[in-house]
Every structure is written in C-alpha cells, then in structure tokens.
Amino acid sequence: MSLEDKYLITVGLEVHCELRTSTKLFCGCANVFGSPPNTNICPVCLGLPGALPVLNRRAVEYAIAIGLALNCDIRRSVFARKNYFYPDMPKDFQISQYDEPICVEGYLELPVAGKRVGIVRAHIEEDTGKTTHVGSSGRIQGADFSLVDYNRSGIPLVEIVSAPDMESAEEAREYVSELRSILVATGATDGKMEEGSMRVDANVSVRRKGTEELGTRCEIKNLNSLRSLGRAIQYEARRQMEIVEEGGRVRQQTRHWNEDQGVTSSLRSKEEANDYRYFPEPDLVPLEPSSEMVELVRAELPVLPPARRAALSDLAGGKPNRSELEQIGTCIGLDLDGFVSSAAEAGLPFKLALSRAANELAALVGAGEALSPEAFVGVLKAEDSGRLSATQAKAVMARLAETGGTVEEAITALGFVGLTDDEVGSLVDRVTAEHPNEWGRYMAGENQLAGFFIGAAMKASGGKVNGRVFSALLAGKRESARS
Amino acid sequence: MAIVDMTAREMASAVRNRELSATEVVEAHLSEISAHDREVAAFLLVLADEARHRARSIDEAIARGEEVGPLAGVPIAVKDNMTLRGVETTCASRILAGWRPPYTATVVQRVESAGAIVIGKTNLDEFAMGSSTENSGFFPTRNPIDLSRVPGGSSGGSAAAVAARFTPLALGSDTGGSIRQPASLCGVVGAKPTYGLVSRYGLIAFASSLDQIGPFARSVEDAAALLSVIASKDPMDSTSLGVGFDAAGIGEGVQGMRIGVVEEMLDGVSSGVASVLDSAIAALEAAGAAVERVSVPAARYGLSAYYLIAPAEASSNLARFDGVRYGLRVEGEDITETYLRTRERGFGAEVKRRIMLGTYALSAGYYDALYGKAQQVRTLIARDFAAAYEHFDALISPTSPTVAFRFGERSDPLSMYMSDVCTIPSNLAGHPGMSVPFGPAENGMPAGVQVLAPALREGVMFRVAMALEAAALEAAVPEWAKAAGSGGAA
C-alpha cells in the first residue's frame, strides 16, 4: 500500500489577485505592469511622513463584484493595519482588512471534481513593493545589497481565502483555474499568473485515513503557476506523510517552493511568526457599501462561468462526461463558449464543435490569434458535410486565423477545393486502369485495396480528392462491373 | 503701537489699506526673532529669505491692485511636524534631520493661499510627544514670560513664538492638549477644533485618531480668523468632515447661555489656577451666563485610555522611520541591525517609551484588555459629554492644573502626563476645545481657562472665549516687550 493510499490530503488556498483599476488603492498613481522602477510613486504610496490614504472607489466595486461572483455576503468592513518591518513595505505596515472583511461566506463549484469549496472571506488590501536581493543567496539574509521598486506598492489586491475543502493537488488546480476564469469574467483582474496578478499560497496538511482531526498545516507561499501549485502540494503532502509515517510530528511552518529543485523549504516556524498587532486603520473610515452600490455592481456583472457551463452542458444533453467537462472548462476559460453554442445553433454536432473549440481554436487563441464565430461555424459545416477532412478543417482554421478572409477563400488558397463527382469518377477510372493487377484483386473482394487506390488518387490529384467521395465511387464502379 | 503688538487682523487690514507693507510687517517680526529667539529658542528654522520674498510679492500684488487673501502679509509660524515642500521638516527628531518633503501640507497651502507668510518652523517635543518641549531632539524652548520655565508642549515653539511676539499667528497640533496646554502656559489663545474639521494631510502623525491641527493667536478673534482659513473639506484626508468654520457671530456674548464647570477636571488644581477659574466663572455670570457644576464621570479615565490609544497608534505610525528610504540611517550588518541601530540612535527616550507602550498594548493576548478596553472608555467619554451637553451649551475647566513649571521639574513621566488631564478627554471624544488666557495665577505666570463644546460647535466655543477675553486681565508679556511697550507709548 503506497503512502498516498494511507493518507488524506487537505488543502486550503489563499489567492491574491491584483485588481485592474487604472490607479492604485489609496492614491492616484498609475496601476500598470512593467514601468521602469520607482516611476509610479507619490508621497502616499511611498508612505512619506504626513501622507494619508484615500480609498479608490473602483477597487471597492471590483471587490464587491468578486464577492457576488463567489456567492458571498457583502458586509460593512473595516480597514486594519498589519504591522511588520520589511523594506519593500514603505510604512512598515500594510493596510488590509482583518476581522471585518468586505466579503464573507461564499462558495465556488468545482465542476470536474463535482464538489463545492467554501469561500471563507475575500478582503481588500494594498500590495507591497518588490525587493530584488543581489548576492549569492537570493534572499534578504546574506544578500550583498537589495533593490526596492515601489511601483507595486499600493496596487489594489483582493485576497480570497477558501475553506480547507480540497483533497488533492488536482482539486486545488481546478479551484484556482475555475476561480481565475470567474475573476477574469467579472473584469476585476486580468488573471495573469505569470505577471503576478494572481498569486497563490497553499495550506497543506495530511492525516491518516479513518481519522477525523486535521493534521498540522504548512503554508507554501507564492505559487505562481498551476503547475507549481500542483507540484508543490504533491511534494509537501508527501513530505508530511513521510514525517508522520516515521512517527514524527509536522511542525507548523511557512514554506518556500523552489521551482528548480522541486522542493519546499522552511521560511519560518510558527514560533518565529510575526505578531502583526492588527488594529483598525485610523486614517480611513469604515467601508459601508450601500445596497444601491451593491445592486449596481450586481446588475453590471456579465454571465459568469458557472452559468455559461450550465448552458453548454444543456447543449451536451444535460450530463457531460469528464473529458467534455474539461473541454467546456477550457472553452469558458478562453471565452470560446460562444463559438460552441453558435455551432450548435447552426445544427452542427455538439461534440465536434466542443472538440474543435477546446483543442484547435484554444491553441490558436493561446498563440494570440483569433477567428470569428461565423468562420468557425463555416469550417465545421464543411467538415461535417464531408467536404473537408478533419486534417483539412484544422488547416483551414489555422489559415483563417492567420490571414482572415472567408472560409471559401481559405479552402481555395489551400487547394482543398473538392473535385466534382464527374472528376472523381474519371479519377477512379484512371487509377484502376493504371493498376489492373490491384483492380483485379479488389474486384475479387480484397476490400483493403480501396486504401491503395485512395492513396494513388491523392497523389494523382495533388491531395484534392475527397477520400469519402472517391471510396463511394470506387465501390460503385465495382458494383456496376460485377452486374 | 509697535507692529509686533498688533493683532493679525489689524496687520492684514493695514497691509490691505497700504498703511503698512507686508515687507515692513515681516521685517519687524524678523528683527524681533533675531533679537530674542536666541533665548526663547522657539524656532527650529527661520525662513527669513523665503518670508521676505513672499512679502515682496504680496506688496507687488497690492500695488497692482490685485485682490489679496484675508491674511495677506501676516506672518505665521508652523509647528515642525507639518510639511512644506523643499523645507526641512524634522518633528524635532534626529531621525528626520535633513529631510525635505516633496509636498506641502494642506493647512500650509491654505494659509499661504490666504496670503499669510510662513516665517519659520517651530520647535516641539519630538514627534509631538510631551508637555514641555523638553523632549525636542535638538534643544528645549523657553517660556517667554519666564525663561526659567517651560512653554508647555508639545507645540511649545508655536505658543512661545506667539507669546514672544515673533509672529501673531501660529499653527500647532493637539493630540492630547498639545495646543491648549502650551497656550495656557504661555498666556496665548490656542484652539483644538473638532476632529476632522482641519485636514491632517501633511501633518506627520503621532496618533492619527486624535491628532488635530489648530490655531495659536494672541486674541480670540485672530484664532477664529485663522481657523476659518484652515477649516475645510480636503479630498486628501478621508477623515475630513467636509465643513468649514464661519467666525461670524462669535462676538454675540453669552447672555442666557448655560455653561457647565467639569467637576472631574478640578482635582489636583493649584490654588492660583483654581482662583483664576473662579474669576472666570464670575465673569461669565456677570456677562449673563448661568454657570453650574456638572459631572462627566468617564472623563476620569481619559488619561489612562489615552496612554494606551495614542502610543498604540504611534507605535505603528513611527514604524516607517527605519532608515531605508529617508532620514537617518545607521548601517548594521544586516537589515534588522540597521533598523535597530537607526531607531536606537534616531529616537529620544520618550518616543521609545511610547513605542514600547503601544507595541505592548496591541500585542496578541493583550489587545482586548488594553487597546480594546481603552476604545470602550473612549465611547463612554463621548457618551458622558453628550449627556452633559443636553443641559449645557458649553463646558469650562482649567486648561492645565498648574502654571508653567521649571525645566527638569517633572522628570517622572507620569507627573508630566498629568499636565494633560483636562485636555485629553476632548481629543478622545473628538470635540473642540480651546484655551483662553485668564491669568496671571502663581508667580505672575499666565493660566488659561479651557472652553469645551460639542462637535462642530466651534461658534459657541468662540463666543464663550470672547466673553472670557473681554473680562480677562492684561495679558502677560515678556520682560523685553514691557520695556519696548512703554517706549512705544512715549
């Protein structure tokens, strides 16, 4: 019995997402990624003596949108100071929300895992600056010197805290992926994990199967991709299982994920943890969103992924299987569900539309290319009618994404214009005449030789012949020759 | 009358009517400063060149017939915990020595737009923590009325500058009495407005939920005029209330007013101060007010609550002075040691004491019993004041239990903290309060009467203050001014 079979894993996630406001949370500095260091700064986000924060209304609206999208209650909330010393934090405290967050008690459905994960809270806070430690260690201890960029200081974040409801790395990945597509749909964030607009901390614990009490947890900081998240949880769970298996005790720690080595290592233990000395931020007044404001945000919310998934599932005939669910997820994540429903409305088979959207179209979109829903439907029609083979259909889609134009133009340009039935008929006559020996064997019942003739016809026509049409006419020729 | 003996309103009107030039006004005050500030030490920085330059441009504007502001040509001193772009701002702390802020505080912008001329930055107890200005990281300020005594604090430099006639107006900040107590000890008028009436943007925070900027002047009307300039909505301060202050009607008298004397603020008051308060009560009654004693029970706990809340906020506000971005940096082996060395050397003893108190009060396991409880007391104080204001239009008390004390006389922090026992409750409640000189009490030293009013009832507060001022004895003046005054009369 492997360790993984003897233990249960429990995962809770804290996801920080950057809000797509045009200015920072408490000042008018631009909220943009990639500016030269220390250019988007002012007395407020530098925490200069005497400067005061003023709350960005748009950030509050985005936070409310996130809360509503995650089925949370929107509450009166209070900003608090989280006090600790770090050079990238200009005030040496972070303005966050502590015991009175703006969003509480929501949930998120994991469609593939088929479970509901609780959302404990979502709150607004400011980001810190970014420190680059120069020196061998790459950490603050042992660095020769450190450089601080305060452009990120004061950028609005929403931190979303899940309940410890996930039981595998796979579920954790699905949670983040689903959360990401919901957040992107609300417009609150761009969800770019590679630019740090979404950062994940994972709380992981293990316990022996059959026991109720959760094990001691460790928190892994700053997981910046789905891949890192999955690997880090697997590694960490295995590490904890081995400790418990050998009779040891897991110590509560904050751990760092090393992507290159594929291991987690301790940053600090519970005993070394900061006492943040939270208290209400006296420079800000309590945040009490009016019900009008909440309703206005609700009214402006687009149709969100869960509802869109339900719509696609209906097209699938109610109960999609696991791989269809994954394909639906991909389509929604990339905003491609409209393509699938357009195709279905045009009478095309759902499975074909879903597969082409989740695979070929998704790959094109991933490469930064686009296709109109009309073009997508046009290609699928040609494929469904037998005019284009699957390989040809994929090539046509790629061509359309690259150069635009109509489906017909692309088919012509690629030389996929089908031959007329007469032309195919003469091709049948020609290749059978050229290969009398094979024709005789085919006539005698060696059906597999149809493939040989298709190959010959493809060669002769430069790939323009439609295999299905050719096969039908070839069979017809044998019928009439026999009769 | 010598220029420096005029009120701010008289100066402004003389400048506007071209009876005096702004340059003459500024020169008169600069020469007073250079003659006597060596002894008083009210200023950390005198902005002589800048003030002369500003005065010239105001004179030119008037010569061109342009409209000038209500305080055009009037000098003003600014406590050195408010920022002025490009001008060293230290909070009287070595940790900020040499720091030149890149922006100007909203209040300073407002007084400058009104035509006032910033003549210098005044001394204070380091980061406004203290009641004597002895805690300045640079040097103590002396009381102009008796140079062997303290001017009070923490806005001791501003109070002393006004009392010494170095300026008719000054700005101070009041977290637990830091405007009113030095006003009382120096014999000038000082007012702490309702929390949120004056913007704090650019005021280097001591305790954010208690700090409020207010005026110093030698007359009640001057203080009101300055308050009407600085009170306004500021979008840069989220706690700004969004209302102004109109000084009209403050001279209407107290006929028919009901005024309470706060019983809890009479304990431990010196006999001289007690008799000053008695004459003030008699004067208000003579002016037609009904004066009675009233109890505000929770006010007794003000001092205790204050010394948890204010240090707690200070411990957080002062964290940013870490040597990383500005001000003093004392390098260590690593970042933690740099923090420790910078703060060890940069902060004085009282600041460290309060940072430690505040850190403790907010710590896990102590928060509820200390900071949380103190916040509850704060609510009770506001409630008890509200109950008193159901029966009274305004309340009075001594501003400080004693007159100015001698240097070093209160080396024990607790006895120093007692200086603010009467002033602290209004900061906790967020209500306005002011001190009007009504002395002298012991040893010829001035003593003020404190006037308290409900939130945003500054108008009522100033009416009572005007009535007191009308009945007060001649204000105490520095020795050198007595000589100059008799010379001027001759």
Distance, CA of A352 to chain centre = 22
* Domain over B3-250+470-489 is classified CATH 3.30.1330.60: no
Query: Which parts of A111-235 are beta strand (E)?
Result: 115-126, 130-134, 145-149, 156-162, 198-208, 218-223
- pLDDT tens, position by position, A39-94: 999 999 999 999 999 999 999 999 999 999 999 999 999 999 999 999 999 999 99
Which of B238, B336, B362 comes nearest A54 by C-beta?
B238
Contacts of A284 in chain B (CB under 8 A): 238-239
Q: Is residue B136 among the annotated active site residues?
A: no
Positive or negative, the Cα torsion across A88, A89, A92, A97?
negative
Contact at CB, B334 and A277, closer than 8 angstroms:
no
pLDDT band, very low/low/confident/very high, at B482 (cuts 50, 70, 90):
confident
Q: Which residue of A has its CA nearest to B309?
A: A279
**Partner A contacted by B362 (CB < 8 A):** yes
pLDDT band at B182 (very low <50, low <70, confident <90, very high): very high
Of the candidates B235, B319, B363, the beta carbon closest to that of A275 is on B363
Question: Could you tell me the CA-to-CA distances from A367 to A191, A361, A362, A364, A402 in Å, in that order?
Answer: 17, 10, 9, 5, 11
φ/ψ (deg, to 5) at A290:
-70, 160
Give CA–CA dist B152/B160, Å, rounded. 9
Q: How confident is the model at residue B486 (pLDDT cuts 50, 70, 90)?
A: very low
**A48 → closest Cβ in B101, B203, B362:** B101
Alpha-carbon span B454 to B465, nearest angstrom: 15
> What amino acid is encoded at A99 in this protein?
D
Q: Which of these ranges, A47-56, A179-188, B109-118, B405-414, has the smallest mean pLDDT? A: B405-414
pLDDT bracket for residue A141 (50, 70, 90): low
Alpha carbon of B82: minimum distance to chain A alpha carbons (Å)? 7
| Distance of alpha carbon B5 from alpha carbon B165, whole angstroms | 7
Q: Are A83 and B362 inside 8 Å of each other by CB?
A: yes
The reply to whether residue B334 touches residue A49, judged by beta carbons under 8 angstroms, is no
Higher pLDDT, A318 or A314: A314
Question: Angle A449-461/A436-443 helices, nearest 10 degrees?
Answer: 140
Q: Is B446 exposed, middle or buried (0-12, 13-18, 19+ CB in 10 A)?
A: buried
Q: Round the average pLDDT of chain B to a whole number and report it.
A: 95
CA distance to partner chain A, nearest, from residue B14 (Å) = 35
Give the lowest-confidence range in A298-302, B88-92, B310-314. Answer: A298-302
Given A53, A87, A141, which is nearest B238 (Cβ)?
A53
pLDDT at A328: 84
A83 and B319: CB-CB below 8 Å?
yes
| Catalytic, out of B154, B184, B426, B435 | B154
Q: Does the structure show a pLDDT above 60 at A436?
A: yes
Smallest Cα distance from A102 to chain B, Å: 18
Interface test with A, best of B325, B326, B357, B375 (most A CBs within 10 A): B325
Among B153, B150, B74, CA closest to B119:
B74
B258-262 and B75-79: which strand pairing? unpaired
Higher pLDDT residue, B78 or A434? B78
Query: How confident is the model over B41-97, as pLDDT tens digits?
Result: 999 999 999 999 999 999 999 999 999 999 999 999 999 999 999 999 999 999 999
Locate the DSSP E strands across A62-197. Answer: 73-74, 79-83, 93-97, 103-110, 115-126, 130-134, 145-149, 156-162
In the structure encoding, which two tokens stand for residue A125, read together? 């806070």
Check: CB of residue B33 under 8 Å from CB of residue B46. yes
Min Cα distance B96 → chain A (Å) is: 10
Mean pLDDT within A223-247: 90
Instruction: Read off the pLDDT of each residue in B221-240 and give the average, rounded to a whole number.
Output: 97
* Architecture label for domain A421-482: Orthogonal Bundle (1.10)
Q: Which residues on chain B are in Cβ contact (under 8 Å) with A277?
A: 315-316, 359, 362-364, 367
- Contact (Cβ atoms closer than 8 angstroms) between residue A95 and residue A53: yes
Chain A residues close to B325, C-beta within 8 Å: 46, 90
B103 closest CB neighbour out of A43, A47, A146: A43
Res. B489 pLDDT band, cuts 50 70 90 = very low
For residue B336, give both structure tokens.
């933690």
Contact status of B103 with chain A (Cβ, < 8 Å): yes
- Interatomic CA distance for residues B404 and B447, integer angstroms: 8
Q: Find, among B213, B199, B100, B106, the residue nearest to B154 by Cα.
A: B213
For residue A167, count CB atoms less than 10 angstroms from its CB and return exposed for 0-12, middle for 13-18, buried for 19 or more. Answer: middle
Q: What is the tens place of the pLDDT at every residue in B433-465? A: 999 999 788 888 999 999 999 999 999 999 999
Distances (CA, A) of A149 to A52, A132, A175, B12, B213: 20, 8, 32, 48, 34
pLDDT in tens, A338-373: 888 888 888 878 888 888 888 888 887 777 777 788
Give the distance from residue A147's alpha carbon to the nearest chain B alpha carbon, in angstroms.
Answer: 11
Given a cut of 90, is residue A463 above it in pLDDT? no
| Residue positions counted in chain B | 490
User: What pLDDT, in 10s, does the model give residues B358-376?
Assistant: 999 999 888 889 999 999 9
Inter-chain touch B359–A277, beta carbons under 8 Å:
yes
Rounded Cα distance between A408 and A404, Å, is: 11
In the residue annotation, B79 being an active-site residue is answered as yes
In this model, does residue A140 exceed pLDDT 70?
no
Contacting B with CB below 8 Å, chain A residues are 43, 46-55, 81, 83, 85, 87, 90-93, 140-141, 146, 148, 275, 277-279, 282-285
With a cut of 70, say whether residue B488 has pLDDT above it: no
The answer to whether B91 contacts chain A (CB < 8 Å) is: yes
Nearest by CB: A90 against B200, B313, B325: B325
Contact between A275 and B364 using a beta-carbon 8 Å cutoff: yes
Q: Which amino acid is at A272?
A: E
Q: If 0-12 CB within 10 Å is exposed, 13-18 middle and 19+ buried, where does residue A280 land? A: middle
**Of A442-446, B177-181, B328-332, B356-360, which gets the smallest average pLDDT?**
A442-446
What average pLDDT score do residues A14-35 get?
94
Q: Which of A442-446, B177-181, B299-303, B427-431 has the lowest mean pLDDT?
A: A442-446
Which residue out of A29, A277, A281, A284 would a mutagenesis test of the B interface target, given it has the greatest number of B Cβ atoms within 10 Å? Answer: A277
CA distance A57 to A293: 11
Query: Which of B448, B443, B440 is closest to B476 using CA atoms?
Result: B440
- Percent of chain B residues topping a pLDDT of 70: 98
CA angle A224, A228, A234 (to 5 degrees): 140
Q: Which of A79, A279, A281, A287 to mutate to test the interface with B (most CBs of B within 10 A)?
A: A279
Over 50: is that where the pLDDT of B473 sits? yes
Longest pairwise C-alpha distance within chain B: 70
Instruction: Calculate Rg over the CA atoms of chain A.
Output: 30
pTM of the predicted protein model? 0.87
Which of B463, B451, B464, B438 has its CA nearest to residue B274? B438
Q: B244 vs chain A: nearest CA distance in angstroms? A: 20
Measured between alpha carbons, how far is residue B22 from residues A246, A483, B72 in Å? 86, 123, 8
Inter-chain contact A47–B320, Cβ cutoff 8 Å?
Answer: yes
- Give the residue extent of every domain in chain B: 3-250+470-489
**pLDDT number for residue B84:** 97
Distance from CA of B173 to the nearest CA of A (A): 13
Q: Does B325 touch chain A (CB under 8 A)?
A: yes
Question: Domains of chain A: which residue ranges?
Answer: 3-298, 303-413, 421-482
Contacts of A278 in chain B (CB under 8 A): 362
From the candidates B93, B131, B158, B178, give the one annotated as an active-site residue: B178
